[in-house]
Structure 1
Amino acid sequence: MRISLRSLFARFAFAVALPLAAASFTLAPVHSAYAQQMPPGAKQPGDFPRTRLTVGMFVIDAAVAANDPDREQGLMYRTQLAPNEGMLFVFNENAVHCFWMKNTLIPLSIAFMRADGTITDIDEMDAETTNNHCPRNNGVYALEMSKNWFESKGIKAGMTMQGLPAAQ
């Protein structure tokens, strides 16, 4: 194989210039693309602990809200979620835990679950509303996903969520 010095130089210049050009771009942290301006004291999306859940054949990357301040903030101020991303709410007591969407900018679906992971209720919630969304059954977990996520995956009440952290 014959290669000219000029061709060799051109390939070398391209091989060196491409990584240098890519390195010159600064990328914003991932969480800033998913949230509007957070108020003082609010947790950034990437600061929540995370867990991996499964239901049926689907894997969910869930932020975990297991204390009062995290549960109160939830997905407020977020402008989008990744395709299989959600937020898992873990409660200290087996009870009816109601949700609303004040300061939540994206429409969501919510699944309420018993301690054993059985989904008891699924509801659809519109963005920036104060309507109460309460399950008909007691539970210790709730999982918020993008609107219609559960329906689009064929996930229904009676199915079981795996990988849930222990309730406190």
Structure 2
Amino acid sequence: MPVFLLLLMLLPSLGQAQSLLALRIGAAELQAEYAVTARERERGLMERTELPANRGMLFRFDDFRRHCLWMKDTPLPLSAAFLDEAGRVVDLIDLEPLSKAIRCSREPARYALEVNRGWFAEQRIGVGARVQGIPGQ
């Protein structure tokens, strides 16, 4: 089989670069990868050893209910905001690197936004803040 065809067949599994969303929460701005598919959500930020400042990952869940996160194979200390369907923060949690503990939202959520630990506190973002720039809103 020609090498070109083999590369074309492998391309979907090579983790192509995602475009970044420009998000705003109050006066704070960040860029986030957008995890929409089940595979993207399962992979999340696993095995990443660094996350640039003002960067994160926005997860979109298929249904609006309480959702859970864990840090298996994720060596970064992260904070996460769970968001309702309007992009309003309904819960904030800190996540421990490599932990298998399952952490769930207190309220139903459509999205979760993961950032470097402490980013929300540094930006003075709390429950009730609204994230702007989410596709479809």
TM over 0.5: yes
Provide structure 2 residue ranges, at least 5 long, that are not aligned to the other structure. 1-12
Give, in whole Å, the separation in 2 of the partners of 1:77 and 1:42: 15
After TM superposition, the score normalised by the length of structure 1 is 0.71
Report how far residue 126 of structure 1 moved: 0.7
Indicate the percent of aligned positions where both proteins have the same amino acid.
36
The Cα RMSD (Å) is 1.4
Say whether 1:109 aligns with 2:74: no
Kindly provide the amino acid, as one letter, of the partner of residue 162 in structure 1.
Q
Q: Which residues of 2 match residues 27-46 of structure 1 at below 5 A? A: 41=13, 43=15
Structure 1 residues without counterparts, runs of 5 or longer:
1-40
Partner in structure 1 of residue 127 of structure 2: 157
Task: Report matched runs for 1:1-168 at 5 Å.
Answer: 41=13, 43=15, 47-166=17-136
Give, in angstroms, the shift of residue 110 of structure 1. Answer: 0.1
Which gives a bigger RCO, structure 1 or 2 (Cα 8 Å, sep 6+)? 2
- Letter of the 1:80 counterpart: E
Higher strand content, 1 or 2: 2
1:85-112 Cα shifts (integer Å, max 9, x gaps): 0000011110111000000010100000
Larger Rg: 1
Count of residues in Structure 1 that have an aligned counterpart in Structure 2: 125
TM-score (normalizing by structure 2): 0.87
Structure with greater helix share of residues: 1
Q: Distance in 1 between matches of 2:15 and 2:110?
A: 23
